[in-house]
């Protein structure tokens, strides 16, 4: 887990105090450190590219803020997109179509046409999708997502590569689906698999690479030569204090050795999302209420699972600290809970904290991945602000929503008025 420094008892983030950021922009607010974002991208690209030609395709579902996308475009990243909305957001941020790969699941014909019209490579998920795409446009490069039978993830809800998964071409159909694509006239470029999200050990990644290599060589034996192997994403980051992080350098050496020694493929693609964006961002939320319920103590804050759903949805752990009492001794354990009318609305359980008071700034760590991107208007609460900090300066990169904006697409029939 990333460490932060304190100054006069105030947590510092991106060269600024969290209290100053909260005072300027209000709470709740997501705050991203630009320098850390660039550092994370350069780190994973550097570890893999020193061994072989590597392309990093940022899994933008983790966070699609246009400013963040623009920074990664400047760094030279490619994009892993899973919807037409993500594709168009990345184009808006400056990515060219050739730097985007679209990997959808249960994709409609309308979306297939929209993506193909934009000139973006499609990573085909099923035999049905292949046949439907052929009727729309077969004169384009494609890849295939396979089901590798290898799964990994921090929750059952994010494991994507296991047998029976809804994602990808089942093993028994892989070769015949590639041969059918060749028969239909597609320009076949590569193979892809994704095992899941948040893995912190190397074995599932080497296991899936063995499957990808074996399949690549079987395809070669059937007259289909691939240009790239895309091993997907899923490299996790430590969320808990003292949790060991993945040795990405060792993983890079192992995986690239496997590809170079066992195949003729010269290009490797990775799709990290969480690894790049997660620890760049914190959520700042204000203590509104402190309650002693006898058997449990609560810190009530102005961010709920409408703002950060991961703890409620996945039972995910996010470290929390009181930003204006940074480094002070903890006195008791508290649940950190939000304003949503649900008993499942919590950000953290049983956390040791210094005496909380109304007005304190509670800092939730590691919220860059699937924080804002999974937020909602539940309880008719507006979406919050996003801020970018760099070199001690803060800039607004998304304004908070007005309550009235939630009604912009709603209509009351005339017969109900008056």
Read off the CATH number of the domain in which 373 is found: 2.40.37.10
Residues 283 and 322 in one domain: yes
SS3 annotation, the chain: CCCCCEECCEEEECCEEHHHHHHHHCCCEEEEEHHHHHHHHHHHHHHHHCCCEEEEEEEHHHCCCHHHHHHHHHHCCEEEECCHHHHHHHHHCCCCHHHEEECCCCCCHHHHHHHHHCCCEEEECCHHHHHHHHHHCCCCEEEEEECCCCCCCCCHHHECCCCCCCCCECHHHHHHHHHHHHHHCCEEEEEECCCECCECCCHHHHHHHHHHHHHHHHHHHCCCCCCEEECCCCECCCCCCCCCCCCHHHHHHHHHHHHHHHCCCCEEEECCCHHHHHHHEEEEEEEEEEEECCCCEEEEECCCCCCCCHHHHHCCCCCEEEHHHCCCCCCEEEEEECCCCCCCCEEEEEEEECCCCCCCEEEECCCCCCCHHHCCCHHHCCCCEEEEEECCEEEEEECCCCHHHHHCCCCCCHHHCC
**How many domains is the chain partitioned into structurally?**
2
Residue 41 domain-assigned? Answer: yes
Residue 414 domain-assigned? Answer: no
Sorted by sequence, the CB contacts under 8 Å of residue 128 that are 6+ apart come out as none
Residue 413 domain-assigned? Answer: no
**353 touches 320 (CB < 8 A):** yes
Residues 250 and 359 in one domain: no
Residues 370 and 241 in one domain: no
C-alpha span between 311 and 316 (Å, rounded):
4
**341 carries an active-site annotation:** yes
Residue 336 domain-assigned? Answer: yes
Residues 317 and 233 in one domain: no
> For the domain that residue 96 is a member of, what is the CATH number?
3.20.20.10
Q: Show the domain range for 321.
A: 6-32+278-407
Residue 415 domain-assigned? Answer: no
Beta bridge partners of 196: 159
Last residue of a domain, one of 277, 292, 324: 277
Residues 72 and 210 in one domain: yes
Residues 381 and 397 in one domain: yes
**301 touches 321 (CB < 8 A):** no
Residues 320 and 214 in one domain: no
Residues 360 and 241 in one domain: no
Residues 183 and 200 in one domain: yes
Mean pLDDT of the chain: 95
- For the chain, list residues with pLDDT below 70: 151-162
pLDDT of residue 333: 98
Residues 346 and 198 in one domain: no
Last residue of a domain, one of 231, 259, 277: 277
Residue 185 domain-assigned? Answer: yes
Residue 243 domain-assigned? Answer: yes
pLDDT of residue 151: 61
Which of 90, 278, 341, 384 is the catalytic position? Answer: 341
* Token pair recorded at residue 110: 């309308």
Q: Is the peptide bond before 28 cis (omega within 30 degrees of 0)?
A: yes
Residues 113 and 26 in one domain: no
Task: Report the DSSP pairing between strands 281-292 and 228-230.
Answer: unpaired
Residue 412 domain-assigned? Answer: no
pLDDT of residue 196: 83
The string of pLDDT tens digits covering residues 231-264 is 999 999 999 998 989 899 999 999 999 999 999 9
Last residue of a domain, one of 277, 295, 320: 277
Residues 71 and 198 in one domain: yes
């Amino acid at each position: 887990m990333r460490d932060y420094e304190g100054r006069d008892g105030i947590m510092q983030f991106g060269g600024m105090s969290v209290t100053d950021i909260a005072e300027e922009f209000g709470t709740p607010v997501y705050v991203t450190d630009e320098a850390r974002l660039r550092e994370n991208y350069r780190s994973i690209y550097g570890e893999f590219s020193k061994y072989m030609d590597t392309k990093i395709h940022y899994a933008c579902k983790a966070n699609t803020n246009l400013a963040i996308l623009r920074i990664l475009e400047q760094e030279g990243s490619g994009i892993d997109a899973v919807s037409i909305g993500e594709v168009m957001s990345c184009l808006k941020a400056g990515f060219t179509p050739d730097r985007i790969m679209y990997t959808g699941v249960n994709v409609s014909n309308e979306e297939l046409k929209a993506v193909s019209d934009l000139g973006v490579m499609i990573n085909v998920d099923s035999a049905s999708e292949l046949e439907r795409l052929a009727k729309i446009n077969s004169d384009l490069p494609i890849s295939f997502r396979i089901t590798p039978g290898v799964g990994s993830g921090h929750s059952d809800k994010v494991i994507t590569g296991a047998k029976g998964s809804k994602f990808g071409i089942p093993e028994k159909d892989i070769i015949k689906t590639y041969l059918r694509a060749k028969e239909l006239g597609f320009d076949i470029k590569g193979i892809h698999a994704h095992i899941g999200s948040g893995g912190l050990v190397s074995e599932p990644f080497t296991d899936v690479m063995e499957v990808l290599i074996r399949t690549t060589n079987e395809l070669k034996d059937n007259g289909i030569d691939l240009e790239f192997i895309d091993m997907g994403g899923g490299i996790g980051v430590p969320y808990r204090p003292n949790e060991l992080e993945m040795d990405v350098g060792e993983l890079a050496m192992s995986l690239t050795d496997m590809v170079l020694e066992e195949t003729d493929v010269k290009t490797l693609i990775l799709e990290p999302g969480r690894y790049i964006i997660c620890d760049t961002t914190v959520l700042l939320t204000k203590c509104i209420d402190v309650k002693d319920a006898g058997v449990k103590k609560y810190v009530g804050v102005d961010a709920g699972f409408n703002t950060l759903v991961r703890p409620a949805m996945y039972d995910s752990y996010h470290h929390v600290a009181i930003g204006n009492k940074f480094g002070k001794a903890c006195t008791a354990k508290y649940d950190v809970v939000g304003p949503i009318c649900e008993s499942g609305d919590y950000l953290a359980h049983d956390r040791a904290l210094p005496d909380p008071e109304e007005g304190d700034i509670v800092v939730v760590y590691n919220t860059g991945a699937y924080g804002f991107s999974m937020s909602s208007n539940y309880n008719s609460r507006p979406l919050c602000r996003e801020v970018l900090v760099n070199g001690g300066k803060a800039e607004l990169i998304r304004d908070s929503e007005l309550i009235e904006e939630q009604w912009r697409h709603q209509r009351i029939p005339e017969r109900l008025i008056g």
